[in-house]
Amino acid sequence: MITIGILAVQGAFIEHKHILEKLGVKTFEIRQLRDLKKGMDGLILPGGESTAMGKLLHDLNLFKPLQDLIQGGLPVLGTCAGMILLAKKLTNDSHIHFQTMDIEVERNAYGRQLGSFFTNALFGEKEIPMTFIRAPYISKVGPGVEVLSVVNDRIVAARENNQLATAFHPELTDSTYLHEYFLSIVKNR
């Protein structure tokens, strides 16, 4: 059985857990270093506040072990703030985090909470619902990065090897498609 660890130090982690449970996937919450001993086949970095998450990752001594796991090939899904945590560069912030995915991200690119929106758009070949909340977007991708979704001429989903990043919150819709896509990455590892 596949087991997915979900970073649960801050942000929208419980919704990811509910979707994965609906898909019959075993999950556990990562709140402290000893949680990593449970072993996982994949990792979710949820939406939330990336600066707070980055600080907590260091304070809880989770940063380096998680970075090592991602660099070692552990499949990871980063949504919204999770995408920011993965990015090698941020266009409008000096706080960079894991720096494992060759993307440049603009934080809060759609403005404040009032700039949040919902749309249906293509993710690869499939149209799915997408919820954007104070969302970032990807302003540049490196040569090994596959663009999976563009909304209003902005890259909102991409994949590089074991890393999948979205600017939107797939966990806040009824669709399980994106989580199933992530699980296919986990299964093919």
User: Where does residue 80 rank: exposed (0-12), middle (13-18), buried (19+ CB within 10 A)?
Assistant: buried
104 is catalytic: no
Q: Which of 15, 16, 80, 106 is labelled catalytic?
A: 80
Query: SS3 sequence, 126-164?
Result: EEEEEEECCCCEEEEECCCCEEEEEECCEEEEEEECCEE
What DSSP element (H or E) covers 78?
strand 76-79
CA 30 – CA 6 distance, rounded (Å) = 6
169 is catalytic: yes
Q: Which of 15, 106, 160, 171 is labelled catalytic?
A: 171
Q: Is residue 8 within 8 Å of 57, Cβ to Cβ?
A: no
49 is catalytic: no
**DSSP string of 88-120?**
EEETT-S------EEEEEETTTT-SGGG-EEEE
Task: Dig out the tokens for 7 from the structure.
Answer: 């970073």
The residues carrying an active-site annotation are 80, 169, 171
